[in-house]
Amino acid sequence: MSRPWVALSMLLFSFPACGTQGGEGAAAGGFKLPAEDCTPLYEPNFDNIYAFTLTQSCAVSGVCHGPPEGKAGLTFQNANDSYDMLLAGYVDPGDPAASDLLFRLSDEAGALQMPPGSALGATERCAIATWIREGAVR
């Protein structure tokens, strides 16, 4: 699944690089992807990403992506629907650099930073990048 608008938006804007650990590689547009040899916070599978990140950082108290209606059409209310929504346009399995989810999570202090206010840590982004790189399987 290719989304040229993601690549185009990364080229048009110069987003600040993440506050990252050494060894992270720069992707197009200046945001940084976790290196392939990064150490994930937890085992990089969708169930852990849903339980430890999406529900706790993205869908807290109905704000942003919580019920009843999440921003940008994303509501992390149950794992199956969340997975389907992410793969319908926010995650490009096998390609973290082309995945809007990781782009938003890696735009620390930029206009598109998710979650707003407090970026995810490098090891948490590493888990998500690794899951995407390994095919984003359910």
Token pair recorded at residue 55: 């529900």
> Is residue 7 a contact partner of residue 96, using CB atoms and an 8 Å limit?
no
- pLDDT score of 62: 59
Indicate if the pLDDT at residue 132 is higher than 50. yes
Number of other CB atoms surrounding residue 127 within 10 Å: 24
Report domain extents, the chain: 33-133
For 99, counting Cβ atoms within 10 Å of its Cβ (0-12 exposed, 13-18 middle, 19+ buried), the class is buried
What pLDDT digit, counting tens, does each position of 1-54 carry?
Answer: 444 433 333 322 222 222 232 234 444 445 678 899 999 999 999 999 999 999
| Model pLDDT, residue 70 | 81
First to last CA, the chain: 17
Q: What are the C-alpha distances in Å from 39 to residues 42, 66, 116? A: 9, 28, 24
Q: Are the C-beta atoms of 76 and 50 separated by less than 8 Å? A: yes
